[in-house]
Amino acid sequence: MTDRKQTIQDLEKLRAEAPLIHNITNYVVMNGTANALISIGASPVMAHAVEEMEEMVGLASALVINIGTLSDKWIEAMHVAGKAAKSKGIPVVLDPVGAGATSLRTNTTKELIQQVGPDVIRGNASEILAIARAGFTTKGVDSTASAEAALEASKDLAQSAGAVVSISGKTDYITDGKQVDQINNGHHLMGKVTGTGCTATALTAAFASVNSNYQAAAGEAMAVMGIAGEMAGEKADAPGSFYTRFLDALYQINGEQIQKRWKNDQG
């Protein structure tokens, strides 16, 4: 279960250790993801060439696999890096961006789950439903379903994949197939800035690098993300200013803010 005391301790540990987070992520979010990881206290690297995957994973404390902009070479790199990370024993966090929109995305996600075995699968409700329920499709990378609607599917996916599943929404849900954490922090402008879901995935990897209880780590990341969103939303009234304030909030968030703003439960 995610709790505020452990979240505060893990945030401090993350900042003290500055773990290297290897991101195989999409063109749209690379800069934002890197800035978010730096702001929270981690060290990002964006590396995609197959030829350097094993060497780069050897330096990293966690791996993000984000399928947002796929190509044959990137898919190959994802498999090589994922298997190297598993052999090294570092956490692998998979973001199935747009799964359900095309067969390439859906099939690639399922192959990565089967052949790599990610420790955490983090996506929106539609993406999780597309992986867990045959025949479910989406309109693109945005969710067409609520997180609540995907909760039962996420439990099934967690059990079949042997992974923690983290669903983002107005309320975030994190489950290992049995236990469910509810994360209630956040701000409506988070949905108006591209890449916030991808940022949540990167932060999940950062917290997983310092907490081997991946259910707790995933909840910590979503709680910190949501609290930072609230902090940013108090100083911004539109998406552009919100994004800048959000990075500032990730840099400024501390134990006092987490203690004051915590809204999270176990279901």
Scanning the chain, the segments in alpha helix (DSSP H) are: 4-17, 30-40, 53-59, 72-88, 103-115, 125-132, 151-161, 196-208, 214-233, 239-252, 255-261
Q: Which residues pair with 44 in a beta bridge?
A: 21
The CA distances from residue 116 to 85, 111, 122, 248, 254, in Å, are: 9, 8, 15, 35, 35
pLDDT digits (tens, 9 = 90+) for 51-65: 999 999 999 999 999
Which pLDDT belongs to residue 142? Answer: 47
Task: Give the CATH architecture of domain 4-266.
Answer: 3-Layer(aba) Sandwich (3.40)
Spatial contact of 74 and 97, defined as CB atoms under 8 Å apart:
no
Residue with tokens 């909840």: 219
89-101: average pLDDT = 96
Q: Where are the domains of the chain?
A: 4-266
Which pLDDT belongs to residue 267? Answer: 41
Please tell me what DSSP assigns to residue 171.
Answer: S
Spatial contact of 105 and 99, defined as CB atoms under 8 Å apart:
yes
Which pLDDT belongs to residue 121? Answer: 98
pLDDT digits (tens, 9 = 90+) for 6-65: 999 999 999 999 999 999 999 999 999 999 999 999 999 999 999 999 999 999 999 999
Give me the half-sphere count of Cα atoms (radius 13 Å) on the Cβ side of residue 117.
Answer: 9
Q: Using DSSP, state whether 188 is helix, strand or coil.
A: helix
Which pLDDT belongs to residue 92? Answer: 98
211-222: average pLDDT = 97
The CA distances from residue 239 to 155, 186, 232, in Å, are: 33, 14, 10
Which pLDDT belongs to residue 212? Answer: 97
Which pLDDT belongs to residue 1? Answer: 75
Spatial contact of 40 and 224, defined as CB atoms under 8 Å apart:
yes
**Mean pLDDT over all residues of the chain?**
93
- 143: pLDDT strictly greater than 50: no
Neighbours of 101 (CB within 10 A): 18
Which pLDDT belongs to residue 54? Answer: 97
For the chain, the residue count is 267
Which pLDDT belongs to residue 94? Answer: 98
192-216: average pLDDT = 97
pLDDT digits (tens, 9 = 90+) for 66-77: 999 999 999 999
- CA dist., res. 24 & res. 84, Å (int): 13
217-245: average pLDDT = 97
156-185: average pLDDT = 95
137-165: average pLDDT = 78
